[in-house]
Structure 1
Amino acid sequence: MSLARVVEQPQADIPREFAEALRPYLDVLAEEMIGEIQASVPEYSRQSGAYARIVRHAVEEALAGFVNRVGDRGASRSRLLEVFRAVGSGEAAEGRPLDSLQSALRICARVAWRRLAEESERLNLSRQRMCDIGEAILVYLDEIAAAAADGYSEAQVRVAGELELRRRRLLDLLVAHPAADSRAVADLARSVRWTMPRTLACVALAARAQGDLPRPGLPPDVLVDLDRSDPCMVVPDPEGPGRHGLLNAMAADWTVVIGPAVAVGEAGLSLRLARDALALARRGVLDGRRIIRVSEHLATLMIFQDESLIQIMGRTRLEPLLALRPSQRDRLAETLLAWLQSGNATEVAARLHIHPQTVRYRLRQATELFADQLGTSGDRFELEVVLRARAAGLTPAPG
């Protein structure tokens, strides 16, 4: 029920004298209502502090408003309804359910009616007058309850917006480089009820298409900001139950790169590595059609950290390939890399889907060309690095 509609509701026909007869009992009624509310509604059970003040304020305003309404037909309803809009707004801000407030209002009506029934003979109230007053109490209860619900709904929207802003700010602090002050992070985490995890992983995202994309349904402990120029997420406890399938639904609309799991203070590093891997996916070095896990591509990331260094290393290490035709270079480089990684001709044949004899022929050729680079572990390591770079799309030497 909207605020505009409740203001226009008619008031039952109650004699003005009833208001004056009821006024001396307002303090007693208020105490009785407060006592029953605190005894019956757990959210208002505290006997002191802000909770008690909220209950007392609402009860006293409700009683005074009803008496003034009956005693003065010209009395404005707008102030009372604004008061209960504010009460509803406060309840939303405190995180208490609207049902608790509505239960408290119903208790007020029940106490008022019970006291009225006890005093009806002394006040000389006829049965018809009792019915009129009962109806007035119910109509009045509907009005203030609707006003409180309006305020509650508006505040929920506002609180949700403020909460989202704080969550985004928390994400910013977590991924900051250099790392933000740990106390500031902890304070902000508490304010949004985000439990500090043992480990987390950052996720770098890139939209596959222009325009608005559907918002993914994610657990509340996942921090996300899709509106920034470089969308990203923070996923707590990334190795926990159900986490591996968490981002599958996003892969249809986004390129998803999951950084390594790190301690909270290293979130910026996780995001940086995820963004580096995302850049490689955009270049076609990594397959962006499926979810990319940085932990599976650390060697590739290392190789591409300093491409100029790889270029210089490759000029020397891969120079023997220049003596071959382009197609021969590719076959020999592929075979030599597989052998350096496995050390076994049979395994190389299985990996490359070629005959073992073909592998042995190519390896003899490679041994002749690269004889001076296969003697020490250091030489073999550098040769493998530049061959991996070549296989990943970086051409460190001519040809």
Structure 2
Amino acid sequence: MGRNSVRRAVLDAEDTIGDLVVERIVAEIPAYRALDVRQLAEVRAIALWILRRILDSWVEGAELGVEDLARVRGIGAARAADGRPLPSVLRAYRVAANTAIDQIVQLVEPMLTVPDTIAFTRLWLTSFDQLTEAIYEGYSASAERLTTDRDRALRDFLDDLLVGRQAHPGAAADRSRALGITLPSPPLLLVAEPADRRGSRGTAPAPAVAPALRLGQDLAGALCPDGGTIDPDAGPLVTARGHRAVLLLPSRDEDAVRAALAEHGCRGCAIRPPRPDTLVDAHRLASLALDLAPEDAYEGGPLLGESDGHALALLAGRPPAGPEAMARQLLGALLDPGQEHVRQGLDAFLAAGSATTAAARVGLHPQSLRYRLRRVRELTGRDPRRSWDRFVLDLGSRIAASPLGAAPGD
């Protein structure tokens, strides 16, 4: 039978081979026993990709290509960033190779001619040498970069989290350990830009990464003064995305963030992502808010929040959540049990436009209505007398009042 038939027979059994490879690696290498399900799935996927590439090369009478080895160097670099020991990584490849060969022999030995067997063995040995060298090169280069350019390594980590690379909690924990840091918990993601860089609508400001990075470092120093020169073990991660600074901070009071932004002449949006793998959505929402926020959104100060981002995303036709969750984001504690009278006063004010007229419509003394509006400010941080805050509260009230926005049982 031909080599293509052998290849098909092996690939038909690749699920079994992949499961067995992971099982053997975990059994034989202690460092891999701590990996979570998602990380083990990555190990399995890499092993099967290498198996397919070697089979393809054998069928074609070729060797692994430059792109293949570049990808393996990237895998080696990622393992250094994860903090996985190099001897364990190399041993994992040996275990995977031995397991795969054992399975291939059992599956297709009767189908192989002597020349094919010799060719396959030579290719496998050559490929394994190339793979090992590529892993070592990628791992060593990444490890050297981690130790000699720590600031760049920390920026790279945040950049990866913002686009979803190695953002799974297990992978993020491994990389944090390798860098000798602890991710902020609970975290605050702050995206900031100079107040005079907004430009005209539809025209993005020209990238200026160095000034943006300096802005991020200045804000980090102001918000985390206990970190001295931004001690990464205790403080924030900082990077730049175009003309904007992005900071991942330990949770901070909004008044402190607002004051730091004002001091440095900039505007920003702060989101509180629950986990590293939600940073992608948080960054996207904060960036969208800064892209779209009208001037009156800053009447209360230079800081936008998550509810502002949700309102603007909804206006842009990109709602980040369902109606019930949107109403909760926009109205916050106003939806808590026992606040119905406050919401009633708010709705009356939104419909009437003045406290006196609203009070008359619902049969309240104007002072009672004003008290309810003060409670709105206390519960949401929004002042219904400001145009943008009034718009967000009105939007949230309308969503909450709709059948789609009502919680089950309401």
TM-score, with structure 2 as normaliser: 0.36
Structure number with bigger Rg: 1
